[in-house]
Structure 1
């Protein structure tokens, strides 16, 4: 596809068809002019089998101190806004649900869900005081459906915490190590999250470079 061609399809977040191509060596991405989301050309995505094989090679042990430090940027948002024994969900917890262990150790009641490792549909039919979703949204082919569902599971004073690295500009995106993971297919900018906040009529904050928090507006 030439840079002057208009991509077909729609943004998987806001649904806009106002997209333009970003060519990065062998990969083709599309960026939305409305919400600034970047997503990989769908025909270049891995199969689910190939995707899971990569996840199976990850070594994120529950008791790994480094992994826990990494997750603490998201978990500290929970401890600042919700007191135990608040009820939480860790969505996309993976094979080593370290954040679940951290929260339970701190006195929180936790459920967990993961498409491949903990596919419990009952956990997606409850209401929660907080939901954590760390290093997950960059893997989503249909982010709006998933995030809308998570938002619907929050209590009226709940908290949704997402951890993912954000797109800063297109020059840095082209040389960005984060996009080199073949399972990373969807990349949010700050504007993407602000679009979600407007859709949900939610408060949004950015406490860290890779953490964003949403909470319902107080009416």
Structure 2
């Protein structure tokens, strides 16, 4: 039986079920899909058709990458070595490279990893790449952690390959995306599902600010901050909804937007073992 990536437990309740696939909420509050789909099933979701939609969103996505690069530069003003987890079509890496960063990507999708971008992109899981310890100054992962089969193992490896005092920057969908859920209910007269067998993307984990913070902290990261992801949507309709949610966030401090944005740091002197 699978165990929870955050607490290691099996005390959960089913909140959605489609055939043999269940979406469960653990006693620690992490929400995830079980059983985890086989690797080949996950890989096959991210082929040519998946990335075709990105071509029509190029301008919007470029603005998103520019905003995210500004965040990275605010943390580490002097460009160094950057690893992008789930780098996709490489657009963020290209933007970072143009600003002086030495960039590397890791990508599970065979199609994306083999696309000729002129960048160093390795295919597979991040722990399969075999980078030496402390190889990177910054690691980014833009809406990737919700797709991976083992987020704790991924984060433990990211911790290992970051240098002491290096930065981790993540964005993920927000489990508490109440503004989007309300808009979806108005438009479709039903609430959105957390799992659909024929969905374009496989969201295997659904993080709240608390569970994402807990998972990142569990492998050793410190100085964890979670805020509003203003780059969570490229489609104009979702951008509009997220803009409304951002206004609510500024007014109340409640993050009911589409995405979470996390910044954390690997301590100079690790306090414990970053294990999975």
Judge same fold: TM > 0.5, yes or no.
yes
Q: Report the CA distance between 1:198 and its aligned residue.
A: 3.3
> Equivalent of 2:75, from 81, 91, 98?
81
Count of paired positions:
207
> Equivalent of 1:175, from 185, 191, 198?
191
In 2, the alpha carbon distance for the partners of 1:166 and 1:9 equals 23
The match for 1:214 is 264
Distance 1:12 1:55, change over 3 A: farther
In 1, the alpha carbon distance for the partners of 2:106 and 2:203 equals 19
In 2, the alpha carbon distance for the partners of 1:204 and 1:215 equals 7
Distance 1:30 1:82, change over 3 A: same
In 1, the alpha carbon distance for the partners of 2:68 and 2:16 equals 32
1:125 paired to 2:132: yes
Runs of 5+ in structure 1 lacking a partner? 1-7
Q: For 1:104-183, what aligned pairs fall within 5 Å after superposition? A: 104-116=97-109, 117=113, 118-119=122-123, 122=129, 124-125=131-132, 127-168=135-176, 172=181, 175-176=191-192, 179-180=195-196, 181=199, 182-183=201-202
The match for 1:19 is 12
Deviations 1:159-181 (A, max 9, x none): 111111121179x5993477554
Runs of 5+ in structure 2 lacking a partner? 114-121, 183-189, 230-258, 270-276
Distance 1:123 1:72, change over 3 A: farther
User: Contact (CA 8 Å) 2:6, 2:214: kept in 1 or not?
Assistant: no
Q: Report the CA distance between 1:194 and its aligned residue.
A: 2.1
Alpha carbon RMSD of aligned pairs, Å? 3.0
Distance 1:53 1:22, change over 3 A: closer
Q: Report the CA distance between 1:92 and its aligned residue.
A: 0.9
Deviations 1:90-148 (A, max 9, x none): 11112x11110010111111111112313175573351110011121111111111111
The match for 2:85 is 91
TM-score normalised by structure 2 residue count: 0.65
Q: Report the CA distance between 1:19 and its aligned residue.
A: 1.3
Q: Report the CA distance between 1:53 and its aligned residue.
A: 4.3
In 1, the alpha carbon distance for the partners of 2:206 and 2:147 equals 9
Q: For 1:31-42, what aligned pairs fall within 5 Å after superposition? A: 31-34=25-28, 36-42=29-35
In 2, the alpha carbon distance for the partners of 1:20 and 1:10 equals 13
